[in-house]
Structure 1
Amino acid sequence: MTGKDGPAQGASPRVDRAFVDRALDDADLNALRLALYQATADDSLLELELKTVPMYGGALRQTVVADEAVEQLRARAREFLLDPPEDFTETRPDDAELRRMYEVFGGEKLTDRDWAYRRGLAAFDDHPRLARWTGPRPALPEDFHVAVVGAGFGGIAMAVQLEHLGIRYTIYERRSELGGTWSINTYPDVRVDTTNFLYQFFFEKNYPWTEYFARAGEVRGYLEHVARKYGVHEHISFDSDVREASFDAATGRWTIEAVVDGWVRHLTATAVVSASGLFATPRRLDVPGVEDFRGEIVHTAECTGRERLDGRDVAIIGNGSTGVQMLSSVRSRARSVGVFQRTPQWITPRERYGEPIRPETRWLLDTMPYYWNWYCYSAAALRLGGQILQEPDPRWQAAGGLVSEANDAYRETLTRYVKSQLGSRPDLWDKLIPRHAPMARRLIVDNNWYASLLKDDVELVTETIERFTPTGIRTADGKERDYDVVFTATGFVTQKYLWPTRYRGLADETLEDRWSDPASGGPRAYLGLTVPDFPNLFIMYGPNSQNRSGSLVVWMETWARYIGEALVALVETGHRYLTVREEVFEDYNRRLDAAMRALVWYDPASTERNYYVNEFGRQQVNAPWRLEEYHELLARFEPEHYDFG
């Protein structure tokens, strides 16, 4: 539950009252309250007064311990931590008790749907999302084998699930190390923008992160740790690029063509799980004259970390998550930086972004029973309310509002933030304050981006790029700027799910062909996971599967469980393959499209330049369902939704 299991840390701190008080100063007191109650069974802790505080400028509210109850809670926690009971033993709460504690935590009554989704968010179970055999594990056919493509978060989540089920598998990873996007991306100051207390597997308890928002190297080290601890690493075939896979109905197997260590190999598998991820194919810069430029042009997904920046003139094209994240670090080394912005983004503050986890806080997480569990739950519960920001309110709009009361309030808060950061430069307001609604696009975390723009050695360029010249970039106003290095933070071709691997199904049609048909509206899948006529093929992070808020990694565990249950059904029924029924697929996507149309992603000010929206004008990345509803749809594999062969 709360025991630390990860890389070795430094010497133990000297713990006295002052040290404990510093830990309590930094604690999430509501999480601490529930942890202390669970450890002591002191019912009076549940009766401590609470209050709600505004978040995001009043758009949302958070429940916290009231000021008048803080010292009482601190005193009890201090006593427990300095003089813990000698006979204390950690236990797991049963479902009734856990549900009651959830309700006490937020001062709310949970519906059955709320409870079903939230049950695993405090991670008291050893493995909160786990597929199981319906009886004793059967003897598997000798040739029953699963090919997993990609060794990032999704591939490792799937592999851990297969380890638990005892199903043979191989992960094919085209790079020489695991990590997925956290191996590919080595651009300056790359890090997560979701707190690690959400961006983590919940079957791995209390990993000793050093920062609240870990840098790429630490995330990759975490995945290495998980892969080795759970027996996954030995199943990874590195330097193995899966180029093509074709399904044979006669044998019920996939034939896979892969380049392994430079050699073409033909392999077979019962099932294929694509865990290549959404951000696998870099979007290339499509500007005249690129081939004439004599300096360096580097897509941020292809940085080596060895690019020479000191004393050089550098351009960063793009102001999405990557471009914003890297500016401050690049500026600290370059002679000058040109920031090329096409579309203003909502670039937002994020509490504790860039902060190390203090020794006192690390000690509290390691020492206070159940605190890690409730700290994680607190982080998840706070973000549940964020879903309301994506939901336009027709009545509010009819009365003159833009989106909804909550979304408009958040827009005002973010607008004030932008203006406060620009200080003496109100001339930049119109260039940097977006016209689209917050949440219509992915929110960007401010990594000193606004502060960097105000420096004399940084220039914001909003004119359209006309062409590259041999020495730099010319914009539509005729101005030419010279650069030695150009970073293209232009993102990824998110319409190219699974590309460049070609998957060919029953109708001798590739997924790429099917999804490029305008009549299809682009990539589609059932539950984001499966496509008709492509048997035993499952997609991790597939079309319309990105969660509306919270932890993506929780959903990777959830998708892995669902796929595991599908494989269990396949084995236990004695069939060779399964494929989602066409009518189930069509009905699901009709409902999905209708639900999406009611959300903020189709804001007219945003759809033209928004990676959520594809070339056919359809939002293809996010699931429109509230988290509780999406969880319900994925809660169990439904055999009646599939044809078996």
Structure 2
Amino acid sequence: MTRVEVAIVGAGFAGIGVASALRRAGREDFVVLERAASVGGTWRDNTYPGIACDVPSHLYGFAAHPNPSWSGTYAKGAEIHRYLDRVVDAEGLRDRLRLNTTMRTAQWDAAHDVWRISTGSAPDADIIVADVLVLACGRLTEPTIPRISGLEQFPGPLFHSARWDHDADLAGARVGVVGTGASAVQIVPELARTAAHVTLFQRTPAWIVPRGGDAYSDADRARFAATPQALEALRVELYAEGEARFASRSGDSAAAAEAEAVARAHLARQVADPALRAALTPDYAFGCKRVLLSDEFYPAVASDAVTLVPEALAAVAGSVLIASDGSRHEVDALVLATGFASTRQPYAELVTGEGGVTLADHWSAGMTAFASTVVAGFPNLFVLNGPNASLGHSSSVLMIEEQAGYVTRVLDRRAGRVLRVDPAAERTYTDEIARAAASTRWMTGGCRNWYVDERSGRLALLWPGTVDAFRERLARADGSEFLPAPALEGSTA
């Protein structure tokens, strides 16, 4: 058994971010549990061809750890993975990591006011006892595999984009790709270069805007390394650009119309065939679904190397893929770029709070939390990258840093007491989110997106505001979100 003040589950951006914040705040008694063999989260797990960030690299990193060595405007997945590994060493977190350690269960022990976290196969083996539990498990960790008749009997290589099979030789093969989201727009151009042919199944087209961006030269990187103020100025500029982008993503009419015009012009420039262009044009409002960035997707789809099937994949018969319109397409390999379980977090079933209620039970009608971070009925628990903590317009790392700051402030005020969220505070915060989200394109844009939980109809993933607004909202949390500590027996207070 291990006894610590804080147990952190997950060693991606969120886990590393909160561990770093704790250490800088003078807290040393913590451990970071990671089920995989290395840190990195999303950027460790996703290794598909062409993977890169769609947020500018100098904004997609911790403020305390600027990286003058990014290869270009948009960092590639492998270098983000390496960046996180370097941050672990820079923050001295290596000795706090427990790799290849999976949280099997986490239960609140009311008799002793601690969390008991099981990491072994036996019920009483490998127990970690912690005063505080931080879930930094990520929101895009468990791939969604569609239920399609015959899929399991497909005879060739079959895998999700987040579990890329590098042993599968797709060069010269006929490859089917299901999905046209953020991963697919990066994968398809890469496959089009080497596969015999790509058949792309599109259920819903995406709004796509030019990616742009350049590789940084050796001189650029040397200048960033020699003049940290230049790097900081660039980050400030990128931050301001991101905040300004909120208007077009959330539904400001003028900003959205301007951004949509850019997307339509981009499509018109790159796809000459009017029928194909029509199939690639969304019928919902700009910003309702995630806006994608690519300069290569449209040319690939318009080429002879790719066939667009503007229908969902309905069935699989051996090596033949059958679309919902009945068309049949024979392939040798199949890639599922079908997203993740975003609104129903898998870890929620493993966490049991007061009264034997699991986090999944509490979130059965949709994820909720006060400050997007603490949950009623789950004492001394913090969730990063959870309810309404994602962004549709800028870097998610900015939100993680704000949440990590909130965690350290709350712990500094804790003074050994058990932190129980007032259910009324959680409801009030949830209502605030609903009011702010009501008029946004995510709710009114006429699409089905992964930001909204179908069980509740609420915006469950995104913060419906700017990063500045999130920072200000968390700054207003003064501790009144927690119930008063019960009076000690015999006290006359």
DSSP 3-state at the match of 1:240: coil
Give the superposition deviation at 1:233.
1.6
CA distance in 1, matches of 2:318, 2:189: 27
**Greater C-alpha radius of gyration:** 1
Deviations 1:204-236 (A, max 9, x none): 134411222111111111001000111112211
Give the structure 2 partner of residue 153 of structure 1: 13
State the partner residue of 1:23.
Answer: none
CA contact (8 A) 2:43 2:81 kept: yes
Distance change in 2, residues 1:286/1:504 (3 Å): same
> Is the Cα–Cα contact under 8 Å of residues 178 and 202 in structure 2 kept in the other structure?
yes
* Secondary structure in 2 matching 1:383: helix
- AA aligned to 2:132 is A
**Alpha-carbon shift at residue 447 of structure 1 (Å):** 4.7
Query: Normalising to structure 1: TM-score of the pair?
Result: 0.72
State how far apart, in whole Å, the 1-side matches of 2:99 and 2:433 are.
37
The residue aligned with 1:513 is 361
1:419: which partner in 2? 268
* Separation of aligned partners in 2, 1:589 and 1:340: 36
Q: Provide the residue aligned with 1:385 in structure 2.
A: 244
- How far the C-alpha of 1:638 sits from its partner, in A, is 1.7
Q: For 1:578-607, what per-residue CA distance to the aligned partner results, in whole angstroms no more than 9, with x for missing partners? A: 02111111111112111110211113521x
Question: In 1, Cα distance between the equivalents of 2:179 and 2:101?
Answer: 32
Alpha-carbon contact 1:548-1:627 (below 8 Å) kept: no
Equivalence map 1:255-334=2 (5 Å) = 255-259=116-120, 264-334=125-195
* TM-superposed deviation, 1:363: 2.5
Secondary structure of residue in 2 paired with 1:579: coil
Cα pair 1:243 1:500 within 8 Å, conserved: no
1:547 and 2:408 correspond: no
1:68 maps to: none
2:26 counterpart of 1:171: no
Corresponding position of 2:235: 376
Counterparts of 1:636 and 1:260, CA distance in 2? 42
Cα distance change of structure 1 residues 321 and 447 upon mapping to structure 2, 3 Å threshold: farther
Shift of 1:476: 3.1
Q: Does 1:337 align with 2:337?
A: no
The DSSP-based 3-state class of the residue aligned with 1:466 is strand
Q: Deviations over 1:227-265 (max 9, x none)?
A: 011111221111111021110122110011113899952
Match of 1:232 in 2: 93
CA displacement at 1:530 relative to structure 2: 0.9
Which whole-Å deviations, capped at 9, do the CAs of 1:476-523 have from their partners, x for residues lacking one?
A: 33332111110000000111225265111112110101212xxx4x11
Relative to structure 1, the CA distance from residue 327 to residue 392 in structure 2 (aligned partners, 3 Å threshold; closer, same or farther) is closer
Whether the 8 Å contact between 2:290 and 2:392 is mirrored in structure 1 is no
**Residues in 1 aligned to 2:436 and 2:278: alpha-carbon distance in whole angstroms:** 33
Pairing 1:621–2:461 present: yes
Deviations 1:442-497 (A, max 9, x none): 11111511010122121001133221011120123333211111000000011122
Residue of 395, 407, 427 corresponding to 1:586: 427
Count residues with an aligned counterpart. Answer: 482
Please name the residue that 1:457 is paired with.
305
1:410 aligns to 2:259 (yes or no): yes
* 1:260/1:208 CA distance change after superposition, 3 Å: farther
Contact kept, 8 Å, 1:162 with 1:168, in 2: the verdict is no
User: Paired residue for 2:490?
Assistant: none
Q: Corresponding residue for 2:416?
A: 574
SS at match of 2:116: strand
TM-score, with structure 2 as normaliser: 0.93
Q: 1:467 aligns with which of 296, 315, 320?
A: 315
AA aligned to 1:642 is F
Which residue does the alignment assign to 2:488?
Answer: none
Report the counterpart of residue 429 of structure 1 in structure 2: 277
Secondary structure at 2:141 match in 1 = coil
1:58 alignment counterpart:
none
1:135 equivalent in structure 2: none
Change (3 A) 1:364 1:260: farther
The aligned amino acid for 1:317 is V
Q: Residue 152 of structure 1 aligns to which amino acid in structure 2?
A: G
Contact 1:548 1:626 (C-alpha < 8 Å) held by counterparts: no
- Cα contact 1:246–1:505 (8 A) shared by 2: yes
CA distance in 1 between partners of 2:156 and 2:442 (Å): 38
Partner SS, residue 556 of structure 1: helix
What is residue 400 of structure 1 aligned with on the other side?
none
Task: Call closer, same or farther: CA 1:205–1:604 in 2, change over 3 Å.
Answer: closer
The residue type equivalent to 1:310 in the other structure is A
The 2-side partners of 1:503 and 1:146 are apart by 15
- Counterpart CA distance in 2 for 1:556 and 1:429 is 38
Contact 1:566 1:637 in 2 (8 A): no
Secondary structure in structure 2 of the residue aligned to 1:416: helix
**Paired AA for residue 630 in structure 1:** F
Q: Percent identity?
A: 28
Please say which of residues 317-326 and 582-591 is displaced more in the overlay: 582-591
Structure 2: gaps of 5 or more residues: 486-493
- Distance in structure 2 (CA, Å) of the matches to 1:264 and 1:601: 45
